[in-house]
């Protein structure tokens, strides 16, 4: 049996052109080619966990088989994908199966804190009946595309074995992309499966308000008991507890109690845990100790599917050409997409006109057409270098001169604004700097723009060149 380490690298380089770099980074980065048995013509892959293994086997095996056959110069082969612990089914590409995600996390020994009995908590019965979960949000009404497939699959997975499978689940992404929808869908699905499940959906700002109220009126015990009584805790926009030390302390103990009792916890945020500022390190580590997934802006095809689904739900006829037109406008998030659809449908209904392409163009004439250019770090640096006499080596160097620092900060600003990369990824690209340095740079740029209109105009000119 021979091991061919370069084969896997070559394979990923090829499929990246077909499925995109994001898919490769998300699903294949941690997968390795362990062995190539040239006699039996079997490729042995190892995935980091069963979730990644099953997803690859169900979605990308045919693609892998095609390219591995070509790279290994064989007509056919088998692909066996396992996990480091060698547990679970061995999946062959010749016999694909519908994977059931069934990874069990290690059992955590419960500490001295105990979970109160539900019957002893005044608010428990109320939570069981409502828990602030919106019944209008379900998995059936969530449109799945490349931008959200991992988060969707993970959300469904936790409903199969709550408290043990991907606990906690952390979903991050920009505003209006579907994070809140998934949190409510998890809550509804679990309550449909188990009617007595105590589910609580809580925006982080409301959690903070409740905590302040509890302190003011000496009701900390009742506050803690309420949250420790739940079976499923869904916290939306967790970033809002940043720089609130007492709130973080209270939440830290609530988290530990629920986690050690194998209760499911799900978070949403607009930022990845590692890039969150003003969060105690021990809490940050707990936010990231489960599965962290992201949702980014949907592609055109996903937008069209969302529009068609929303129109269907409202019993409205939406021609394909109108759906494509709306989806092609500058609509970076789903809320704006739905808002545009509502405007078009409402105008047609109120004026008794058919929804046509001309009507949609008239109503959305003020909306700018979406730019399709692919923007990466290299392009940002290249354009910024046209305005400042420094290249990538200069920006990556440790030189802290005022002029170089300004150019570096400008590059960081556009890397964050015009790409979906994290602070950590930006810092790594520019000389291995940490996420705090990048965040500081963005703050400096934003402050400079507020006080200097000329500088703001200067940046607008640079941005137009980058997005041209």
Give the pLDDT of residue 53.
Answer: 82
Are 118 and 124 within 8 A, CB to CB? yes
Both 128 and 259 in one domain: the answer is yes
195 phi and psi angles, rounded to 5 deg: -60, -25
Both 57 and 191 in one domain: the answer is no
Query: How many structural domains does the chain have?
Result: 4
Does residue 124 lie in a domain region?
Answer: yes
Give the pLDDT of residue 114.
Answer: 39
Other C-beta atoms lying within 10 Å of the C-beta of residue 358: 10
Task: Tell me the HSE value of 221 on the side-chain side, using a 13 A CA sphere.
Answer: 5
pLDDT 10s digits, 226-239: 998 999 999 999 99
107: confidence class by pLDDT, cuts 50, 70, 90: very low
| Nearest-angstrom CA–CA distance, 27 and 35 | 19
376 phi and psi angles, rounded to 5 deg: -130, 180
466 phi and psi angles, rounded to 5 deg: -65, -40
Does residue 22 lie in a domain region?
Answer: yes
pLDDT 10s digits, 55-92: 788 778 888 888 888 888 888 888 998 887 654 444 44
| Nearest-angstrom CA–CA distance, 408 and 13 | 30
**What is the residue-wise DSSP string for 52-120?**
HHHHHHHHTHHHHHHHHHHHHT-S--EEEEE-TT--SPPEETTS-------PPPPPPPP-S--PPPGGG
Task: Tell me the HSE value of 310 on the side-chain side, using a 13 A CA sphere.
Answer: 22
Both 166 and 290 in one domain: the answer is yes
Both 383 and 359 in one domain: the answer is no
Both 190 and 266 in one domain: the answer is yes
Both 158 and 208 in one domain: the answer is yes
Both 347 and 388 in one domain: the answer is no
Are 396 and 385 within 8 A, CB to CB? no
Both 304 and 168 in one domain: the answer is no
CATH code, 40: 3.30.300.180
Q: What is the dihedral of CA 294, 241, 432, 457, to 10 degrees?
A: 90
Are 327 and 318 within 8 A, CB to CB? no
Among residues 363, 395, 413, which one ends one of the domains?
Answer: 363
Give the pLDDT of residue 313.
Answer: 86
Both 405 and 285 in one domain: the answer is no
170: enclosing H helix or E strand: strand 169-173
| Nearest-angstrom CA–CA distance, 434 and 122 | 46
Give the pLDDT of residue 130.
Answer: 58
Both 343 and 396 in one domain: the answer is no
Answer whether the bond into residue 85 is a cis peptide, omega within 30°: no
CATH code, 414: 1.10.1750.10
Pairing assessment for the beta strands 91-92 and 78-82 based on DSSP bridges: antiparallel
Does residue 61 lie in a domain region?
Answer: yes
pLDDT 10s digits, 250-259: 999 999 999 9
Give the pLDDT of residue 200.
Answer: 94
Counting residues of the chain whose pLDDT is more than 70, the rounded percentage is 86
Which residue pairs, CB below 8 angstroms and at least 24 apart, start in 360-369?
Answer: 360/322, 360/325, 360/326, 361/325, 364/325, 364/326, 364/329, 364/340, 367/329, 367/330, 367/331, 367/340, 368/329, 368/330, 369/328, 369/329, 369/330
CATH code, 132: 3.40.50.300
Among residues 277, 295, 313, which one ends one of the domains?
Answer: 295
Give the pLDDT of residue 14.
Answer: 84
Mean pLDDT (whole number) for 281-287: 92
Give the pLDDT of residue 115.
Answer: 43
Are 99 and 55 within 8 A, CB to CB? yes
Give the pLDDT of residue 145.
Answer: 85
103: confidence class by pLDDT, cuts 50, 70, 90: very low
Give the pLDDT of residue 272.
Answer: 87
pLDDT 10s digits, 131-182: 789 888 999 989 888 888 889 999 999 999 899 878 999 999 888 888 999 9
Give the pLDDT of residue 151.
Answer: 92
Lowest mean pLDDT segment, chosen from 126-130, 201-205, 363-367: 126-130
Other C-beta atoms lying within 10 Å of the C-beta of residue 319: 14
Q: Which residues pair with 234 in a beta bridge?
A: 201, 266
CATH code, 346: 1.10.8.60
294: enclosing H helix or E strand: strand 291-295
DSSP 212: H
Among residues 295, 315, 349, which one ends one of the domains?
Answer: 295
Does residue 233 lie in a domain region?
Answer: yes
Mean pLDDT, the chain, rounded, equals: 82
Give the pLDDT of residue 7.
Answer: 84
Give the pLDDT of residue 129.
Answer: 52
297: confidence class by pLDDT, cuts 50, 70, 90: confident
Q: Is the pLDDT of residue 393 over 60?
A: yes
Q: Is the pLDDT of residue 412 over 90?
A: yes
Both 319 and 454 in one domain: the answer is no
Counting residues of the chain whose pLDDT is more than 90, the rounded percentage is 27
Both 273 and 326 in one domain: the answer is no
Q: Alpha helix locations (H) across 138-289?
A: 149-160, 179-193, 204-216, 220-228, 245-260, 281-287
Which domain range does residue 445 map to?
377-466
Does residue 126 lie in a domain region?
Answer: yes
Mean pLDDT (whole number) for 289-302: 85
Does residue 249 lie in a domain region?
Answer: yes
Burial of 73 (0-12, 13-18, 19+ CB in 10 A): exposed
Task: Tell me the HSE value of 244 on the side-chain side, using a 13 A CA sphere.
Answer: 17
| Nearest-angstrom CA–CA distance, 428 and 441 | 14
| Nearest-angstrom CA–CA distance, 292 and 267 | 9
Give the pLDDT of residue 352.
Answer: 86
Does residue 100 lie in a domain region?
Answer: no
Are 422 and 435 within 8 A, CB to CB? yes
Give the pLDDT of residue 105.
Answer: 31
Does residue 110 lie in a domain region?
Answer: no
Give the pLDDT of residue 122.
Answer: 42
302: enclosing H helix or E strand: helix 300-313
């Amino acid at each position: 049996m021979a091991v061919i380490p370069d084969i896997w690298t070559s394979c990923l380089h090829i499929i990246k052109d077909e499925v995109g770099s994001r898919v490769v980074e998300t699903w294949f980065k941690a997968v390795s080619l362990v062995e190539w048995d040239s006699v039996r013509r079997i490729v042995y892959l190892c995935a980091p966990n069963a979730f990644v293994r099953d997803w690859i086997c169900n979605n990308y095996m045919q693609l892998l088989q095609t390219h591995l056959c070509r790279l290994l110069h064989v007509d056919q082969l088998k692909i066996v994908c396992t996990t480091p612990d060698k547990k679970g089914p061995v999946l062959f590409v010749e016999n694909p199966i519908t994977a059931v995600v069934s990874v069990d996390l290690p059992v955590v020994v419960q500490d001295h804190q105990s979970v109160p009995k539900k019957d002893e908590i005044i608010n428990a019965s109320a939570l069981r009946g409502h828990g602030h979960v919106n019944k209008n949000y379900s998995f059936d009404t969530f449109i799945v595309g490349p931008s959200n497939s991992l988060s969707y699959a993970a959300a469904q997975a936790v409903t199969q074995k709550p408290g043990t499978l991907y606990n906690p689940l952390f979903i991050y992404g920009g505003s209006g992309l579907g994070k809140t929808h998934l949190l409510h869908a998890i809550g509804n699905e679990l309550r449909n499966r188990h009617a007595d499940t105590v589910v609580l959906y809580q925006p982080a700002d409301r959690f903070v308000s409740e905590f302040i109220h509890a302190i003011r009126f000496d009701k900390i015990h009742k506050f803690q008991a309420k949250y420790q009584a739940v079976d499923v805790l869904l916290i939306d926009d967790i970033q809002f507890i940043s720089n609130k030390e007492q709130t973080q302390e209270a939440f830290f103990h609530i988290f530990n109690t629920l986690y050690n009792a194998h209760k499911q916890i799900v978070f949403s945020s607009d930022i990845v845990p590692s890039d969150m500022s003003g969060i105690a390190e021990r809490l940050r580590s707990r936010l990231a100790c489960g599965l962290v997934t992201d949702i980014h802006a949907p592609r055109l095809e996903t937008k069209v599917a969302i529009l068609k689904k929303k129109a269907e739900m409202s019993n409205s006829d939406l021609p394909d050409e109108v759906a494509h037109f709306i989806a092609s406008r500058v609509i970076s998030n789903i809320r704006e997409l739905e808002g545009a659809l509502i405007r078009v449908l409402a105008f047609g209904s109120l004026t008794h006109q058919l929804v046509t392409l001309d009507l949609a163009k008239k109503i959305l004439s003020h909306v700018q057409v979406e730019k399709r250019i692919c923007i990466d770090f290299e392009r940002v640096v290249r354009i910024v270098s046209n305005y400042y006499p420094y290249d990538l080596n200069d920006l990556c160097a440790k030189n802290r001169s005022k002029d170089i620092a300004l150019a570096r900060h400008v590059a960081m600003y556009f890397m964050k604004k015009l790409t979906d990369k994290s602070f950590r990824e930006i810092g790594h690209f520019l000389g291995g700097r940490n996420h705090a340095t990048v965040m500081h740079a963005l703050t400096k740029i934003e402050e400079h723009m507020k006080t200097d209109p000329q500088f703001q105009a200067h940046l607008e000119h640079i941005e137009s060149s980058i997005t041209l």
